[in-house]
Structure 1
Amino acid sequence: MQKNVCILGSINMDLVLRVNRLVKPGETILSKNFKKVSGGKGANQAVAAKRLGANVSFIGMVGADDNGFEIVKAFKEDKIDVSHIKVSNNDPTGMAIITVDDDGRNSIVVVPGANMKIDNTSIEESKDVIKDSKLLIAQFETSIEATIKAFKIAKENGVITILNPAPARNIPEELLKLTDIIAPNETEVFELTDIKVDDTDKIREAADKLIEKGAKFVIITLGERGAALADKEKITIVPAYKVKAVDTTAAGDSFIGALATKLQNKKEVCFENIEEAIKFANKVSSIVVQKQGAQPSLPYLDEVLKAYKEE
């Protein structure tokens, strides 16, 4: 039986504004249109993985409101296990206000809401689903304390841990020591290491900092350049697929979901298997950036396979 990809993460309702260009400080501009779509880093990663063929369980929290009901209903329609999603009567479902310009660039403000109410008690009540999983993924739109608790359970039971440190913040060494794969983007790795990853030497230097603190593998997503993979001995850059970006929202989340899906079926998580998974994840994210919206842009496996055939 295929083991789960378990995701501890955020559930947001995204309020997406299309603009000619991103707003400057103190400036007021007009939006061209507005959409409300399901999002949140954790939720996006879960939907991405499920649509690509993974078994997915989700640990999270929503508010007792229409946004929460709508998102959980959509999860069920995508056949994601929602039995570990709790409802807060005191906090709203998380939200993200996203502006997207004509070049596909975005800026995002997140309102955490119920996401930050996931605590150690919530994790303890969900420990069985963590134990029964192949991989556990977490981000930083939920509390770090809950993530540490979840990763401890994972490591005690041989579950592979993937940390997507977004939005960037200081990472306790305790958490890094529990992390098999850490996957920041260029901005996040700069926040974590104070190193601009402009070339391979800088990528190596940044990766070494994270590995010294406990991470086994480092994946740095580099936008149009692709993604770098490093462990203690080796480093490689997996090139991106060249496409015209329309909206980069959820590109990173689709990458994480695709990475986990590919690794779910591997007997071991080694450098070569992760490199192969990155190639697949790059293809998936190249499809996502050509569409608008977060979850609406996440492809199903048949669309990805078709894109491979059209190369």
Structure 2
Amino acid sequence: MKKIVVLGSINIDTILNIDRLPLPGETMAMHDRSIAGGGKGANQAIAAVRAGSETSFIAKIGKDHAADFMMDTFKKDGLNIDNVTMDNEAGTGKAYILLDEHGQNSILIYGGANQTITADDIDEAASTISEADCLIAQFEVPVPAITKAFKIAKDNNVLTILNPAPAKKDIPVELLKLTDIIAPNETEAEAITDVKVVDLDSMRQAADKMHDMGVGIVLITVGSKGSFYSLEDRSIGFVDAFKVKAIDTTAAGDTFIGYLASQLHKELDNIEGAMRFANKASSITVQEKGAQNSIPYHNQVKF
């Protein structure tokens, strides 16, 4: 069984169902409101454990009822939460999701305890990282903590996957050089490279820029179209998405990352197969409302 470690965020999601996104200054009614567990880190950790991997989570929560709710969720899925610690001052992270009738979303984030993760927290989790096959991180936690974790991973021959979300410009070169696989969507790829991703040629241009920054493998997810990859030798490929009716795209990208990590061989010789399996898992996620509740289990992902 693969050992995966996820360093990342925990949020309580408030989902607001609306016809469309409001215009500036506009007041709109919403159809419904619901509460669910979320956070990119938590979503990816849950995706990895449901994909069949032995998964450990490095994260921080607040001292509140939201934390109790999330910890119960993690325990039910069998996630290792030895390195999920509590901050006594900051609250558990929160996300406010505007979900339109076409399944597209816009998300506002309150970082809370997620932003209090420090290098000391990473030191406490060093043995967990060093014994893993793969370490995953995203940008809903502080970059210095990610960099420290990736250093420990690289010193121990652990594969590193960076999901540069939310979109961020000027990622430290030090972090990029510690990254084996970077996996942005088209918006995040543009933020990193200033290349507008609209077709295969622009995907290749963006990937080349990321390679030049020090990243070995580039994956760019492009929603309902599928996912692009570019390897260290600059050879490229594209894996089509599965065509389904999307109800809610929340956590689709996180499902992709968690499932991808669970399937990849250490030699990375099965990258297309792993991407195809991850695409299939994501296609199941988008057919149900919510984040973590919509992430499938391994036995549900069938071709």
Same structural fold, with TM-score higher than 0.5 when normalized by the shorter chain: yes
Contact 2:5 2:136 in 1 (8 A): yes
CA apart distance, 1:246: 0.5
Asked whether the 8 Å contact 1:189–1:220 carries over to 2, the reply is yes
Q: Which amino acid letter does the alignment assign opposite residue 253 of structure 1?
A: D
* Partners of 1:3 and 1:132 within 8 A in 2: no
Structure 2 distance, partners of 1:200, 1:165, is 20
Structure 1 residue 292: Cα displacement? 0.4
Q: Which amino acid aligns with 2:82?
A: S
Does residue 120 (structure 1) correspond to residue 119 (structure 2)? The answer is yes
Instruction: Give 3-state SS (helix, strand or coil) of 1:95's partner.
Output: strand
| 1:268 counterpart residue number | 267
Q: Deviations along 1:62-94, whole A, 9 cap, x unmatched?
A: 001000111011101100000000000000000
Aligned residue number for residue 90 of structure 1 = 89
Number of the residue aligned with 1:304: 301
Q: Residue 285 in 1 paired to residue 282 in 2?
A: yes
CA distance in 2 between counterparts of 1:267 and 1:233 reads 19
Q: CA deviation at 1:122?
A: 0.3
CA distance in 1, matches of 2:266, 2:35: 40
Counterpart Cα distance in 1 of 2:271 and 2:131: 21
8 Å CA contact retained: 1:18, 1:32: yes
CA deviation map 1:112-151 (0-9, x unaligned): 0000100000000110000010000000000000000000
| Matched residue, 1:228 | 228
Query: TM-score if structure 2 supplies the norm length?
Result: 0.98
SS of aligned partner of 2:59: strand
CA drift at 1:8: 0.2
- Which residue of structure 2 lines up, in the alignment, with residue 50 of structure 1? 49
8 Å CA contact 2:224–2:241 kept in 1: the answer is: yes
TM-score, normalisation: structure 1: 0.95
- 1:171-195 CA-to-partner distances (Å, cap 9, x unmatched) read 1010000000000001110111111
Unaligned stretches of 5+ residues in structure 1: none
- Residue of structure 1 equivalent to 2:3: 4
Deviations 1:33-69, CA, capped at 9 Å, x for gaps? 1111000000000111111111100000000100011
Structure 1 counterpart of 2:242: 241
In structure 2, runs of 5+ residues without a counterpart are: none
2:94 partner amino acid: M
Work out the CA distance in 2 between the residues paired with 1:233 and 1:196.
19
Query: CA-to-partner distance for each residue in 1:1-36, whole Å, 9 max, x for gaps?
Result: x34100000000000111111112111111111111
Matched AA of 1:144 = V
The two structures, once aligned, show a CA RMSD in angstroms of 0.9
The corresponding residue for 1:257 is 258
Off by >6 Å, runs of 4+ in structure 1: none
In 1: Cα distance, 2:69 partner to 2:240 partner: 37
Distance 1:43 1:233 in 2: 32
